[in-house]
Amino acid sequence: MTFYDNINEFFEKNIIIKNIIDEPNIYIFQSKIIKEYKNILNGTDEYFEDNIMDIFNEYFDRCDDADIYDDICNNIIFIYYKSTLKLNRNYYDIFKKKKIYL
């Protein structure tokens, strides 16, 4: 599964996020996360984790419930790293197959 599949599944199945962020803002939040992922793939020097926390701060006050905040941020960051590792592994496998030995 790709990052997009994983993040969509997370937002569809996570009941907690639906309880703390109202419906239209969930889609905006999800879109901003996907945009950050695309920016990272295009080579920005920013850290995905920091950007996700900044975006999340727009919709949820960490002081209200730090455990929920941390859990959601950590899940999103885990999805990012899991997807990035898989993407890198796939690119490496493709590169390795195209290598020509003389």
- The continuous run of DSSP H or E covering 23 comes out as helix 23-41
2-45 pLDDT, tens digit per residue, is: 888 888 898 888 888 888 787 788 888 888 888 888 887 777 76
What is the pTM for the complete model shown?
Answer: 0.68
Output the CA angle 2-37-84, nearest 5 degrees.
Answer: 50
Contacts 24+ apart (CB under 8 A), 9-13: 10/75, 10/76, 10/79
Parse the chain into domains and list their residue ranges.
3-98
Q: How many CB atoms lie within 10 A of CB 3?
A: 21
39-57 pLDDT, tens digit per residue, is: 877 777 678 788 888 888 8
Measure the N-to-C terminal CA separation of the chain; round to a whole number of Å.
Answer: 36
Looking at residue 87, its amino acid is: L
